[in-house]
Amino acid sequence: MAIARTPVGIVGGGPAGLILCHLLRLRGIESVVLEARSRQYIEQRVRAGVLEQGTVGLLSDAGLGARMQREGLQHRGIHLRFGGVSHPIDFAALTGKSVTVYGQQEVVRDLVAAALSAGTRIEFEVTAVVLDQLSSTQPLIRYRDQRGEPQQLQCDFIAGCDGFHGICRAAIPAAALRYYEREYPFGWLGILAHAPPLADELIYTHHERGFALFSMRSPQIARHYLQCPPDENLAEWPDERIWQELERRLEGADSLVLPRGDIFQKGVTPMRSFVTEPMQYGRLFLAGDAAHIVPPTGAKGMNLAASDVRSLALALAEFYDSGSMRRLERYSESCLRRIWQAQRFSWWMTSMLHRFEHHGEFDRRVQLAELDYVTGSRVASAALAENYVGLPYQD
């Protein structure tokens, strides 16, 4: 069997892998992307939707922002709602920045189209992926292609962008890694509905029955979430029950009216925090969900993936320009500082807004005091806004 050759083998065709291959192509570095799912699946998979200003800038500067600029929804802030009252956090006034709501599946569609148009090799529906010789200067990826035929791909470097349940992190000897993890005792029941948004901005709601988030994907598609047990049975949540519970958690003196519509997708997302250290082993570099998971409360998942591969692309460009491994050797160090800052922010937002069964009345009063302080202090509001719109990249 002949062995194919590429400078960079990318395992995983989600946002991390696809952004990386595009950034490398702009630097004249070839890559091959291997994806376990079909093109149709990854282009329809609904995930994150809030893009930091830095992520928007990264995609736009790379020539990938045209449709995002046309169809994405720019948001100048959010509302924190507690005690039945909504309190605005004005990002633009506090930081001069904003965020953009543009679904992950839309980002992926743009990335796949750009990659295929430029002639980048993306192999969909690959199976039996195995990484070998990671400590050598020529690591190897073995896999079966869409037809089931065995293939081998020799690389200078491998980027593991295959998500939390992928094979890349598992290919690293267990003794070489350390994991930091927290499981939260709840999940999010999320829906997509053919309905207009409740408001112009996202509403994060603290309620005695549990957290709720009122969001959107477009002017015609609403995206809402309810705190629920992590093992919640969706069969017990018919549409009418979901709408009623959303309305209960929205109740307040302002009598907001939640627009209803046909629910066409629902699911339960467990909540966890997870970090792998280091994010590299030999010539294998982990990025995105393969290396870390954050609770969605802070809207950081896809943004961290973009930040990771931006750092990796710069490091690989330095290597191919000068032969220097300096940036590559510091890849984990440079990424992990931002990752832990995002973990802190996501943990803080999650802890402040959710109902914890083990909390007594004292703890709940402290949550309300925290919300009161954040919404009443310009300094505290600015700290939330600064983290939400995205901290500056650190090269």
Catalytic residue among 15, 22, 75, 79: 75
Q: Is 102 a catalytic residue?
A: no
CA distance linking residue 86 with residue 327, whole number of Å: 45
Asked if residues 131 and 139 have their Cβ atoms less than 8 Å apart, the reply is yes
- CATH, domain range 183-271+357-389: 3.30.9.10
pTM above 0.75, yes or no: yes
Catalytic position from the list 139, 197, 295, 296 = 296
User: Does 184 qualify as catalytic in the annotation?
Assistant: no
Secondary structure class of 273 (helix, strand, coil): strand
Alpha helices in 118-238 (DSSP H): none
Active-site position among 204, 225, 281, 331 = 204
CATH of domain 4-73+101-181+273-349: 3.50.50.60
Q: Which of the following is catalytic: 22, 206, 300, 354?
A: 300
Catalytic residue among 102, 143, 331, 388: 388
Task: Note if 388 is an active site residue.
Answer: yes
Q: Taking the alpha carbons of 43, 235, 218, 91 in that order, is the dihedral positive or negative?
A: negative
**75 noted as active-site residue:** yes
List per-residue pLDDT tens for the chain, 395 residues long: 668 999 999 999 999 999 999 999 999 999 999 999 999 998 888 777 899 999 999 999 999 999 999 999 999 999 999 999 999 999 999 999 999 999 888 999 999 999 999 999 999 999 999 999 999 999 999 999 999 999 999 999 999 999 999 999 999 999 999 999 999 999 999 999 999 999 999 999 999 999 999 999 889 999 999 999 999 999 999 999 999 999 999 999 888 999 999 999 999 999 999 999 999 999 999 999 999 999 999 999 999 999 999 999 999 999 999 999 999 999 999 999 999 999 999 999 999 999 999 999 999 999 999 999 999 999 999 999 999 999 999 77
Of 132, 133, 126, the C-alpha closest to 151 is 126
Buried b (16+ CB within 10 A) or exposed e, 163-192: beebbbbebbeeeebeeeeeebebbbbbbb
- Domain range list for the chain: 4-73+101-181+273-349, 183-271+357-389
For 303-315, b/e burial (b = at least 16 CB within 10 A) is: bbbbbbbbbbbbb
The span from the CA of 127 to the CA of 352, in Å, is: 42
